[in-house]
Structure 1
Amino acid sequence: MKSDFKFSNLCGTVYKQGNLIFTPDGNSILSPVGNRLTVFDLVNNKATTFPYENRKNIDRIALSPNSTLLISVDEDGRAILVNYHRQVVLHHFNFKAKVHDIQFSPDGKYFAATHGKQIQVWKTPGFHREFQPIVLHRRYTGHFDDVISISWAPDSKFFVTTSKDMSARIYSVNPIEGFVPFTLSGHRDSVIGAWFTQEQNALYTVSKDGALFEWRYQSIAPKTQQDENDDVGNDNSMEIDEVPRRWTAVQRHFFYQDHAKVVCAAYHASSSMMVVGFSNGVFGIWELPTFNNIHTLSISQKKIDSVAINRTGEWLAFGASKLGQLLVWEWQSESYVLKQQGHFYDMNCLSYSSDGQSVVTGGDDGKVKVWNTISGFCFVTFSDHTSRITATEFAKNGQIVFSASLDGTVRAFDLVRYRNFRTFTSPTPVQFSSLAVDPSGEIVCAGSQNTFEIFVWSVQTGKLLDILAGHTAPISGLAFSPTANFLASCSWDRTIRTWDVFGRGKSVESFTHMSEVLALAFRPDGKELCGSTLDGQLSFWNVDDALQTGTIDGRRDISGGRKAEDKVTAENSTSGKHFNSLCYTADGTCIIGGGNSKYVCIYDIKSTILVKKWIISKNLSFDGTLEFLNSKNMTEAGAMDLIDDDDDYSDLEDRRDNALPGTKDLSKRNVRPEIRTKAVRFSPTGRSWAAASTEGLLIYSLDDTLMFDPFDLEIDITPETILETLDERDYLKALVMAFRLNERQYIQRCYEAIPPTDVKLVARQLPTKYLERLMKFIASYMEDSPHLEFHLIWCTNLLVSHGKYLKDHSGEFLTVFRGLQKGVGKLHEDLAKVCNDNTYTLEYLLSQAEKN
């Protein structure tokens, strides 16, 4: 069992806070997701999360004009300099103050950052090794309150800043003789942003109260004319260079959006287009300088926190942090390019499809979302439930999703027509806390947490078949045996029970534990059962003999993290020292578990030792991340992290409470979210595992590209000899040598060099010890290669030539089979989509061929 799982992707969270930026080519957008950064490729429809983490939630990001350097700054002003293409951290830096904005100059030589009432301009580091990569160029002062935004002129010689002191100021990067920084005043509220036009002869400023001012650099007309009797040669005229000039407000416009405040704005210089986002979820597009309203649309129920425009001005990106929404809008065609939203509250449960391509999640917001593990996007959301989702499961065929909720219903969703086609209810209202679907997909069971009963329904008819009673406490977990037709349930009454759901002839077995049972899981062969108890123990049971075969004490492994209000240390705390979710690996040799802490542990069952422990997040914005608390952060009023010292609610409308008397909105409390893992699941292919956590849906996968793992390597096997053998058309020998060297590029080269007519012969003569490696390579290469028929020819010939061996060793090749099933299923979906989109074109071509 390999344990070198690396962080692969983050789903379930698309936008948390901060600003959005497009890449210079305009095809991708960067979005902060907590203390990580996700890149959404809008052309290839794929989302990728960077592997590095900031200390806290990212507040501002900036990308250099040539898209080589990326700077991400968290809430405390700690920054990370990253090589964007390689996704490697180059340097850590602390601005020692909250950064409201950071921008690279258009030429890429400098970047400017706000620092309280000041502005700092830094030199952009180069690509050679430097003792101090980031050097301060100059510090600028002049504002009387915090600086909000920075915007550079197109020539990179000037930049304009806006502040909460209701003014904007123009600075020069380098000292210019005779130049004095200009102050633009006249607004009656905080200035959100200011931008130069492309010709730099005009400037636009937008304030929070909805005012837009147009400023132009004009000459000052003389107040008095000279007398006609004055000497014409001496004082009659003034040279053009000596005419005094200043910035003057020539136009004043106002946005009238039902008393809504301006939250964010962006300006596209080449098309003179202004996009403004308001606090009521409405955005508008205005053409300048005529101030014509091109478009207005309501896209969110909450305020729009960030807006960005791509290079061509065709796509607009919007982020709403209250609901976690990210939208990309093509305003000319009035259509969505991207529309994603994560779970509004915590993510409680997850389940993999049988091919490992999809993951279904359920959250506290009552929504069921299905995510594609390859692209990282959510492709369907079901909002039929009215309360918290407690469990989700895929049917074995992968086309049906089941979900259980506290609203007293179990629902079945069709992933072909995207609809809720079955709703299962109980005779009396109960709250369902667990769910299980039998391997055939004909029976669905759900356990209640208030009546302590298990309800059994038929999926075909939707009728209630049976009610299983016997537990004396809330039921915490259900699971069907993968091979036998019986059900296992665990409960807070310290027992695990097995039920014969179909025959009712077998007596109910009861496995007694020393503490409350929180979770259970079957081994893939169905012969072993594992249960997790409140005291941190993992108990393993032989299902046939009803005997306990072993235990693992995981209290010390899973415990960790001290909350800000904890009176005792993390080591002495009793909370969070148990597993609330378990899952066996695909081969059944290890088990993975997660709980109310920042750790996820994987154990080897045979030796009962800890194989590896992962930290799901190092985000200090979450509670329970630190092992030790600093006493200087504790005050008489409580922890400093829980005291709201932000002045964003300084306005009267933000502080006004419009709630009815006697009501209290608990969501408005300043409570830090607690880091924990609600569910962990291994992919059926065994190549990855996922965790539903406070951060989102974290996916960890095996990284084989960076690992040198030779197999039967000899001194005469080199890249040169492999290529020589390939040139001699000894395909089998070259392929075997490539596998022994285990360099993917040479394996791929030998694989593709084999003619389709010789595949049958090579597959028949391939030694069986290389069979697993070749099938794994084909399964992984299918996702990136366009050679559809070539892959299918290989799969067919391998299965035909080595069918008996594969059948006798089906347990060893289980993960390989599922990987091939995933790859073939993906090819089938892509090909079916292309064919369906071109049905009429194909019919027309065939009809024309018949005529000719």
Structure 2
Amino acid sequence: MAVASTTTPAFRTVSSGFRFSNLAGTVYKQGNVLFTPDGNSVISPVGNRVSVFDLVNNKSRTLSFENRKNIARIALSPDATVLISVDEDGRAVLVNFKRSTVLHHFNFKKPVRDIKFSPDGKFIAATHGSQIQVWQTPSHLAREFAPFVLHRTYTGHYDDVLSITWSSDSRFFLTTSKDMTAKLYTLYPVEGYRPKTFSGHRDAVLAAYFSQDHKTIYTVSRDGAIFTWSKKQDDEPSDDESDDDERMTAVAPEASTSNGPDNTIATTRWGVEARHYFMQAGAKVVSTTWHAPSNLVIVGFSSGVFGLWEMPTFNNVHTLSVSQEKITSVTVNPSGEWLAFGASKLGQLLVWEWQSESYVLKQQGHYFDMNALSYSSDGQQVATGGDDGKVKLWNAASGFCFVTFDDHSSAISAVEFAKQGQVVFSASLDGTVRAFDLIRYRNFRTFTTPQPVQFNSLAVDPSGEIVCAGGSGDGFEIYMWSTQTGKLIDVLAGHEAPVSALAFSPLGDRLVSASWDKTIRVWDTFGRSSAVEPFQLKADALALAFRPDGKEVAVATLDGQISFWNVVDGTQRTLLEGRKDISGGRKADDRVTAANNSSTKAFTSLSYTADGSCVLAGGSSKHVCLYDARDGVLLRRFTISQNLSLDGTQETLDSRKLTEAGPRELIDDRGDASDLDERLDRSLPGARGGDMSKRRYRPEARTKCVRFSPTGRSWAAASTEGLLIYSLDDSLTFDPFELDVDITPSSILDTLRDERHYLKAFVMALKLNERPLLQTVYEAVPPSAIALLARQLPAPYLPATLRLLAAQLAKSPHVEFHLVWLSALFAAHGKTLRQNQGEFAAVLRGVQRGLQDVQESVVRLSEDNSFALDFLIDQQKRKEAAERDEGRAAMALGEEQAASAAPAEIRL
């Protein structure tokens, strides 16, 4: 008890400090994708969040802010400092992109079809119905009371504006509209100038672009036509240009004094030079983009085909089918090498290098809900299973999916990693349990039952030799198979209702099952007797979890309670009431308030922390609760999503959205869509799932599975939004005795070189946290002073020091120097590391990984050297043997010549 009292409070101080870290499992929902100005990263809207995919370093991160609803458009400033995201209702969030901090909130009061920063970054142009509003860009350095200042509102279109394109000098911009026209506007008023109208298309104009020299304009319409507009050579106005050209006689003073291409834009008499058609049978143009330096127009069609055409010759450079559904967004990086595509219906994000015809990035989330997840034993991989019948493996560090198994023919209900070996198991409603080899990436075992059973629970013993599954069949049995042979070795009968959860004890000697028959049963795995005593519950059991020491099990029931049972003597230790904690928002079709709704007041997934002190619980709600397992105290309640596009996120309904036909959210307005494919409803009446058609028009915010990482530093939740990962804040803890010191790079270097105070310089460098400076101080410490520095190093700086060592082991060749540091730190702080294993687990795994890399490189180098030495020795031996052979041959030849030259009488 003394150990528990000393370690548990230390864990409590950090266990509730989890923060949102990343969103995996979903890469694209809707809206437009963007490249950063350096062309190395792709920015993608994921629901009401924004994810950034680093294509060079193979990493992804999700910005911490949230919009009110699903994001419709995003725009990034040319210097990559400010990001603006606009949701479906026109509410915008202005964010400091580098720091991921919200600067301002703003409401455009209408849905925004397109929003663009001017190339100089001073203005933001946004569509506002049939109008265009140009706003001055707010400062990203300071917060202001009214940051958005309207520069001007532009009118002239008769229907919704679809796109905006700026000229390179930021003085003109093109707009396109559903009224089948495009217009050319000036940023500042010009005397006698009226917006130029480009007409002649027979469908909505999706985009218009300037050529590199601004002497040509291209317009692309939805029906697959692209028009080339250039300066008219004759004095007669063309049939396609408006009479407003007669008034374009004056030029802005700013334009007349500069040497840019804008001198001729306002005075040019534009006319159609050529009309071209993409000729894609039965396909509409959905998305398009333009790369001016190479004169390439990239077009995405509703059939999943994209093409590249070189203008103005309209030469088809490339055509390829990259998706099964329409390409809703396409963009090109500044160098013109990589193309990024987004397909909203499939949740696909593709980055294609068109010159080498290879994928730079190819990611796709689960088509339906994500039902289950499991961490690998090292915490580096996460396996997920969804309603689409696919098992996906994600890298926990990078957030990318690296393999997908689609062997199941129905929804996945549970996934589990084997504690030993590279194997992942999955249970499905198709009546099979499958084992996947993570080395060869194949399904090497398929476990079946004599009678058809729909499995919804799965357990794997710690050795990986036995796998158990339970579900809803005729007898509600639990089936047990051998992993090695794939044969059914036992059937456990006794439950009278579907088996909702299974769990093996950490030692593998007990199997606990939970059922809807209001009981849990403990089965002896090795020496089971015929009679098994059930533990009676007050309601249907929905989820269970074993404590890591194997002595206690937590069970969640339908009445919202979590009970803790001692599996040794069968006694209930405590009961935790969580109905009020889990109760979430109100759904649109609810007839009662969220406080009185019992449908969401139950936990469906439980997970213990690594030391067994806390329990994480999630369910059909927008909340995930973290409890103290010993005292039953709610430590923290996490809100997985604030997205109002999901059902169940609002606490109260808005009476302004109630109509005579019911809540406005429940009214299906797909018939008002302009696209025929969006109006068609191919789903069966009353169906909510089962095949690849869209079933739920309004998804619900809920958590189907929660799991703690084996390191204890993070946890993941399989939710409606995707795979949410929360981790502890790794910010440094500062000692108060040095807060008055002016910590600058110069003062650190002075402390290091002049005063030779290595500990003080090292701590100051850790506080400043600049990698080059920290490495300089680290390498300047003499080996003789390392042991003294390690003994005097304060404990709060130990994790940062270990992370620095792990990074140095991976990239620095001073192996002996790093080992001296590690040996001194372990000798001085070994007791602290042992008492706080959960807190230091992540950094110690990083150090272990770095040491393994060093060991492997040394072994590889030694083997290479031994092979080289063996080769050299063998070559030397061959050379010596050849020299001996040559000497013998020469000696024999000399003797023969001497014998032939001797006198005849001597030979006789």
TM-score, normalization by structure 1:
0.89
In the TM superposition, residue 290 of structure 1 has moved relative to its aligned partner by 0.8
- Would you tell me which structure has more helix in proportion to its own residues? 2
In the TM superposition, residue 749 of structure 1 has moved relative to its aligned partner by 6.4
1:208 corresponds to 2:222: yes
Identity %: 57
Matches within 5 A, 1:2-151: 2=14, 3-126=16-139, 127-128=141-142, 130-151=144-165
- Of 703, 718, 722, the match for 1:677: 703
Deviations 1:353-391 (A, max 9, x none): 111111111111111111111111111111111111111
Deviations 1:582-614 (A, max 9, x none): 111112111110111111111112222111111
Q: CA RMSD in A?
A: 3.7
Please say if residues 15 and 325 of structure 1, whose CA atoms lie closer than 8 Å, have aligned partners that are also in contact: yes
Q: Distance in 2 between matches of 1:494 and 1:563?
A: 28
In the TM superposition, residue 759 of structure 1 has moved relative to its aligned partner by 8.9
In the TM superposition, residue 841 of structure 1 has moved relative to its aligned partner by 13
Deviations 1:442-461 (A, max 9, x none): 11111122241111111111
Instruction: Quote the residue 1:298 is aligned against.
Output: 321
Instruction: Quote the residue 1:328 is aligned against.
Output: 351
CA spacing shift, 1:196–1:530, aligned 2, 3 Å: same
1:488 corresponds to 2:512: yes
Q: Distance in 2 between matches of 1:606 and 1:743?
A: 39
Please say if residues 642 and 670 of structure 1, whose CA atoms lie closer than 8 Å, have aligned partners that are also in contact: no
The 10-residue stretch of structure 1 (795-804 or 695-704) with the greater mean CA deviation from structure 2: 795-804
Q: Distance in 1 between matches of 2:858 and 2:338?
A: 26
Instruction: Quote the residue 1:188 is aligned against.
Output: 202
Please say if residues 783 and 820 of structure 2, whose CA atoms lie closer than 8 Å, have aligned partners that are also in contact: no
Deviations 1:522-567 (A, max 9, x none): 1111121111111111111122222111111011001020000100
- Of 334, 340, 360, the match for 1:317: 340
In the TM superposition, residue 645 of structure 1 has moved relative to its aligned partner by 3.8
Instruction: Quote the residue 2:729 is aligned against.
Output: 703
- Of 172, 176, 192, the match for 2:190: 176
Q: Distance in 2 between matches of 1:603 and 1:371?
A: 28
Please say if residues 687 and 695 of structure 2, whose CA atoms lie closer than 8 Å, have aligned partners that are also in contact: no
Q: Distance in 2 between matches of 1:248 and 1:795?
A: 74
Deviations 1:380-433 (A, max 9, x none): 111111111111111113511111111111111111111111111112221111
CA spacing shift, 1:554–1:214, aligned 2, 3 Å: same
In the TM superposition, residue 518 of structure 1 has moved relative to its aligned partner by 0.7
1:271 corresponds to 2:294: yes
1:793 corresponds to 2:812: no
Deviations 1:76-114 (A, max 9, x none): 000011111111111110000000000111111211100
The 10-residue stretch of structure 1 (820-829 or 85-94) with the greater mean CA deviation from structure 2: 820-829
CA spacing shift, 1:647–1:194, aligned 2, 3 Å: farther
TM-score, normalization by structure 2:
0.84
Instruction: Quote the residue 1:155 is aligned against.
Output: 169
Instruction: Quote the residue 1:376 is aligned against.
Output: 399
Instruction: Quote the residue 1:433 is aligned against.
Output: 456
Q: Distance in 2 between matches of 1:802 and 1:773?
A: 13
Code of the aligned partner of 2:512: A
Q: Distance in 2 between matches of 1:371 and 1:281?
A: 26
Please say if residues 738 and 750 of structure 1, whose CA atoms lie closer than 8 Å, have aligned partners that are also in contact: no
**SS at structure 2 position matched to 1:477:** strand
In the TM superposition, residue 812 of structure 1 has moved relative to its aligned partner by 4.5
Please say if residues 220 and 244 of structure 1, whose CA atoms lie closer than 8 Å, have aligned partners that are also in contact: no
- Of 450, 464, 472, the match for 2:488: 464
Instruction: Quote the residue 1:415 is aligned against.
Output: 438
Please say if residues 643 and 670 of structure 1, whose CA atoms lie closer than 8 Å, have aligned partners that are also in contact: no
Deviations 1:731-777 (A, max 9, x none): 6x6699789x98867996699347695599569x848x977973675
**SS at structure 2 position matched to 1:30:** strand
- Of 367, 380, 388, the match for 1:365: 388
Q: Distance in 2 between matches of 1:23 and 1:759?
A: 45
**SS at structure 1 position matched to 2:356:** coil
Deviations 1:272-312 (A, max 9, x none): 00100000100011111111111111111100000000000
Deviations 1:477-530 (A, max 9, x none): 111111352111111111111111223259634221111111111111112111
* Ranges in structure 1 where 5+ consecutive residues have no aligned partner: 224-239
Please say if residues 448 and 474 of structure 1, whose CA atoms lie closer than 8 Å, have aligned partners that are also in contact: yes
**SS at structure 2 position matched to 1:445:** strand
In the TM superposition, residue 780 of structure 1 has moved relative to its aligned partner by 7.6
Matches within 5 A, 1:555-566: 555-566=579-590
Instruction: Quote the residue 2:715 is aligned against.
Output: 689
Please say if residues 723 and 734 of structure 1, whose CA atoms lie closer than 8 Å, have aligned partners that are also in contact: no
Deviations 1:631-663 (A, max 9, x none): 121112221122244676335565467799999
**SS at structure 2 position matched to 1:53:** coil
Code of the aligned partner of 1:189: D
CA spacing shift, 1:621–1:246, aligned 2, 3 Å: same
Please say if residues 712 and 841 of structure 2, whose CA atoms lie closer than 8 Å, have aligned partners that are also in contact: no
Aligned length: 826
Q: Distance in 1 between matches of 2:685 and 2:63?
A: 47
Q: Distance in 1 between matches of 2:557 and 2:599?
A: 13
CA spacing shift, 1:709–1:690, aligned 2, 3 Å: farther
1:592 corresponds to 2:605: no
Please say if residues 762 and 777 of structure 2, whose CA atoms lie closer than 8 Å, have aligned partners that are also in contact: no
Please say if residues 265 and 277 of structure 1, whose CA atoms lie closer than 8 Å, have aligned partners that are also in contact: yes
In the TM superposition, residue 708 of structure 1 has moved relative to its aligned partner by 3.6
Instruction: Quote the residue 1:526 is aligned against.
Output: 550
CA spacing shift, 1:623–1:653, aligned 2, 3 Å: closer
CA spacing shift, 1:748–1:360, aligned 2, 3 Å: farther
CA spacing shift, 1:775–1:28, aligned 2, 3 Å: closer
Q: Distance in 2 between matches of 1:75 and 1:845?
A: 69
**SS at structure 2 position matched to 1:340:** strand
Q: Distance in 2 between matches of 1:426 and 1:110?
A: 66
1:582 corresponds to 2:633: no
**SS at structure 2 position matched to 1:782:** helix
**SS at structure 2 position matched to 1:549:** strand
Instruction: Quote the residue 2:419 is aligned against.
Output: 396
The 10-residue stretch of structure 1 (4-13 or 126-135) with the greater mean CA deviation from structure 2: 126-135
Q: Distance in 2 between matches of 1:759 and 1:407?
A: 64
Larger Cα Rg: Structure 1 or Structure 2?
Answer: 2
Q: Distance in 2 between matches of 1:583 and 1:659?
A: 37
1:614 corresponds to 2:629: no
The 10-residue stretch of structure 1 (645-654 or 655-664) with the greater mean CA deviation from structure 2: 655-664
CA spacing shift, 1:204–1:101, aligned 2, 3 Å: same
Q: Distance in 1 between matches of 2:598 and 2:558?
A: 10
